[in-house]
Amino acid sequence: MCPRAGTRQALRLTAWRICGNLRDMRTFLSCLLLSLILATPALAWESRVKGVRDGDSLNVLNDDGVLVNIRLYGVDAPEAKQAFGFQARKRLAQLVSRKNVRIENVDTDRYGRTVALVRLDDGTLVNGEMVRAGLAWVYDQYCLRADLCAGLHQAQAEARAAGRGLWAEASPTPPWEWRKAHKTEEWYAAPVRAMKTLGRKIKGIIHR
């Protein structure tokens, strides 16, 4: 699991403070190396998309041949039974199905999914394309990278002004509000329980 941007920054500052107080040269050099590692952005990895789950998540294979569920960072697409849920899934499939993509891990969510930035071979940011098409919202609660999120907000403003996708409606309901309103319905609650259970098992394996 890759630390969030804010976490990595805090770790870097702490490492530099500690390093600055060390007098032993060998220990200082080791500490400096750690600081440089923490200063390096998370490395991207490449994979071929095996399937699309909905408008903001897809499946790929990692280097070990294990299926990994990728959740697009910073965006939230309409749910399957929500207005424009079908269109969102269809658009994401058009963008990535059976294509090679570059994945930059950002975090792991409570369901055990890898939260990431996903780019096509030409550098197109899939997260942004979904927002630009009016088929995903900027997920403000979890969009914490200021530079990136500013671009997503700009794309959302353009989609809204043009009336694209879900913005064709006068007052579209954000997915997080829609989920909250339907969380007690069994058709929605059952798969959520299953994902939470899977997420706990995955985290248990990671932290062994």
Active site residues: 71, 79, 113
Residues 6+ apart with CB under 8 A from 61: 47, 48, 50, 67, 68
Q: How far apart are CA 145 and CA 134, in angstroms?
A: 21
The three-state secondary structure class of 83 is: coil
Amino acid at 118: V
Residues 6+ apart with CB under 8 A from 57: 69, 70, 71, 72, 113
Asked if 107 contacts 73 with a C-beta cutoff of 8 angstroms, the reply is: yes
Q: How far apart are CA 148 and CA 3, in angstroms?
A: 17
Residues 6+ apart with CB under 8 A from 31: 15, 18, 19, 22
Q: Can you read off the two tokens belonging to residue 115?
A: 């939260």
